């Protein structure tokens, strides 16, 4: 499954790269893309683990960029 989410509060391209790198390390992630310019987050993972992977991605995002929110 592949879904696109809107980001709010992402302040810089460097932070976007750090968030993407952190999310890519989560078990079950097929691919992840964080685009600072469009404020979009694309996550691809298997259907059966997608919700768990998404929740972990949110935690990684908040740890790196506390003001950033991923809108579901």
pLDDT tens track for 8-43: 999 999 999 999 999 999 999 999 999 999 999 999
Record the pTM.
0.93
Look at residue 72 in the predicted model and tell me its pLDDT. Answer: 87
- Give the number of residues written for the chain: 72
> How far apart, in Å, are the Cα atoms of 8 and each of 17, 34, 51, 61?
15, 12, 20, 11
Task: Report yes or no: 40 and 4 within 8 Å, Cβ to Cβ.
Answer: yes
Nearest in space to 31 (alpha carbons), one of 14, 15, 53? 53
Average pLDDT, the chain: 96
Look at residue 5 in the predicted model and tell me its pLDDT. Answer: 98
At the topology level, CATH places domain 2-71 in Alpha-Beta Plaits (3.30.70)
Look at residue 32 in the predicted model and tell me its pLDDT. Answer: 98
């Amino acid at each position: 499954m592949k879904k696109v989410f809107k980001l709010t509060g992402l302040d810089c391209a460097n932070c976007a790269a750090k968030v993407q790198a952190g999310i890519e390390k989560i078990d079950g992630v097929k691919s992840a893309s964080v685009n600072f310019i469009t404020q979009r987050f694309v996550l691809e993972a298997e259907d059966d683990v997608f919700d768990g992977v998404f929740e972990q991605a949110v935690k990684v995002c908040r740890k790196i960029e506390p003001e950033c929110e991923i809108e579901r």
